[in-house]
Amino acid sequence: MEKVFNKLRTLDAYPKINEDFYSRTLSGGVITLVSSLLTLFLFFSEFRLYLHTVNETKLLVDTSRGEKLRINFDVTFPSIPCSLLSVDAMDISGEQHIDIRHDITKKRIDAHHNVIEIRPDGIGSPKIETPLQKHGGRLEHNETYCGTCYGAETSDEHCCNTCEEVREAYRKKGWAITNVELIDQCKREGFVQKVKEEEGEGCNIYGSLEVNKVAGNFHFSPGKSFHHSSVNLQDLLAIQNDIYNISHKINRLSFGDYFPGVVNPLDGVQWAHDSQYGMYQYFIKVVPTVYTDIRGRTIKSNQYSVTEHFRSNEVGRPQAFPGVFFFYDFNPIKVTFKEEHIPFLHFITNICAIVGGIFTVAGIVDSFVYHGQRAIKKKRQLGKFS
C-alpha cells in the first residue's frame, strides 16, 4: 500500500510550498479581496439565472390545416356613433360574415370619452307587429302582417317586418338604401331618430371574431356592407353627412390566446391623420406560435407584424370607402417557444469557469504588480529616480 500511496503522491498537480518562502504584500491582499467579491457577485448572478427559466426557440414549417383563428379586438372611434358602426369579415375561400353581431359589445361614449351606455351589438329597436300595410295593401281579417321589402323581396312570402330586415334584404340584392327616412319600418321603430340622437357621440367596440385560418380581412365601417358585382360596397345611411371621421385608437388587437412575452405591435396605436376622412389600412403578417411552459402546458397562438397605409378622399383620386381595414396573411413558418431550466451540469461548469478564471487573472495581476513594485524599489536604491 505504501508504494501505491507514493505513486499517487507523485501525481499531485498542486505541490505545497513551505510557508517560510511566502511573501505577503498589501497589493496582494487588495487584489485577493476584490477578486473574492467579484467571484461572489458572479456566483450569485449565475445562481439566480439557474433558478429562472429560459426560452428555447425553434423555427418549423407550419403544416396545420383546417384550423380556426380567433381575433380579439378593442377599438375606439371617437367620432362615429355605435348605431352606424358595423364589423365585416371575409377571406380568400369565399366565406363572408357581414355585419357581425355575436360576441361583440359596443360602448356609447361622449366627446370626453365618458361611457353613456354599454350594449351588445345591434340597434335593439322593438319589432313592429301591427303596421298599416301589407306589401302596399290592407290587412284582411285575421291576416298576419307581412311588411314590404320595397322591391327587394325574393318571393311573394318574403316579409320585412323591421328596419333591419329591410336593410338586410337590400344588402342581399346588392342595393344601397338611399334614404332610410322613406322606410316605414325604420320610421316606426324610431331608427332615424335614434341615430340622430347619437350624433356627436363616439363608440368603443370590442369582442372577438372566429375566422378560417386563411388569408382574409376584417374591417370596421359606418353603415352596412353589401356585395355587388364582385365589389364590396357600403350602405352609407343618408341621414347624416356622407363624410365620416374615422380617426381611431386600437386599444388591443391580438390573434389567438395570450402567452408570456408576446408583443402586439398595434396595441395602443392611435391614428388621427391630418385628413381624417378616408380608408385606414393595416397589412398584417401573422406568424403561428406555440408556447410551452415549464409545466408542459402548451398554448397555440400567433404573433404578427404590420404595415400601415392611409387612402384619403382627395379630389382627383379614386373614391376610398371610409373605414378601418385589417388585411391579414399567414407566414408558412411556425415559431415554437419552450420554457426550460438550465441543466445543473451547465451551472456547475459555469461556476468552475468563474472561479478558475478570476483566480488565474487575479494571479497574473498580482504577479505584475509585485514584480513592478520590486523593480521600482530596486531602481530607487540605485538612485535612478533622483
Q: Could you read off the pLDDT of 34-85 as tens digits, one per residue?
A: 888 999 999 999 888 888 877 888 999 998 877 889 999 999 999 888 888 8
pLDDT per residue over 82-110, tens digit each? 888 889 899 998 888 877 888 899 998 98
Rounded Cα–Cα distance for residues 125 and 103 (Å): 19
3 state DSSP class of 312: strand
Q: Is residue 336 part of a domain?
A: no
Asked, for residue 1, whether it belongs to a domain, the answer is no
Say which DSSP state 126 is in: P
DSSP state, 125? P
Same domain flag for 346 and 237: no
- Which of 208, 197, 294 is CA-nearest to residue 254? 208
Residues 183-214: tens digit of each pLDDT: 887 777 776 677 777 778 889 999 999 999 99
User: Among the three residues 310, 331, 352, which one is the final residue of a domain in this structure?
Assistant: 331
Q: Structural domain tally of the chain? A: 2
Is residue 265 located within the same domain as residue 146?
Answer: yes
Asked if 311 and 366 sit in the same domain, the reply is no
Residue 184 grid coordinates: 316605414
pLDDT of residue 40: 92
40: its cell numbers: 461572489
pLDDT computed for residue 204 by the predictor: 94
Is residue 321 domain-shared with residue 252, that is, in the same domain?
yes
Residue 212 or 146, more confident: 212
89 and 163, same domain (yes or no): yes
Shared domain check, 254 and 222? yes
Whether residues 33 and 84 fall in one domain:
no
Residues 6+ apart with CB under 8 A from 378: none
Same domain for 364 and 277: no
Domain that holds residue 73: 63-331
CA atoms within 13 A on the CB side of 208: 10
Over residues 217-224, the mean pLDDT reads: 84
Establish if 109 belongs to a structural domain: yes
| Number of helices (H), then strands (E), in the chain | 6, 16
**386 lies in some domain:** no
CB atoms within 10 A of CB 73: 21
pLDDT tens by residue, 331-358? 999 999 998 888 888 889 989 999 899 9
Q: What amino acid occupies position 242?
A: D
Task: Say whether 298 sits in a helix, a strand or coil.
Answer: strand
With left for phi above 0 and alpha for psi between -120 and 50, is residue 123 left, alpha or beta? alpha
The answer to whether residues 30 and 115 belong to one domain is: no
- For residues 332 and 286, the answer to whether their CB atoms sit within 8 Å is no
Q: Are residues 81 and 217 in the same domain?
A: yes
43 and 106, same domain (yes or no): no
Q: Which of 171, 223, 168 is nearest to 159 (CA)?
A: 168
- In this structure, the answer to whether residues 105 and 186 fall within a common structural domain is yes
- The cell for 333 is 413558418
d(C-alpha 286, C-alpha 327), whole Å? 10
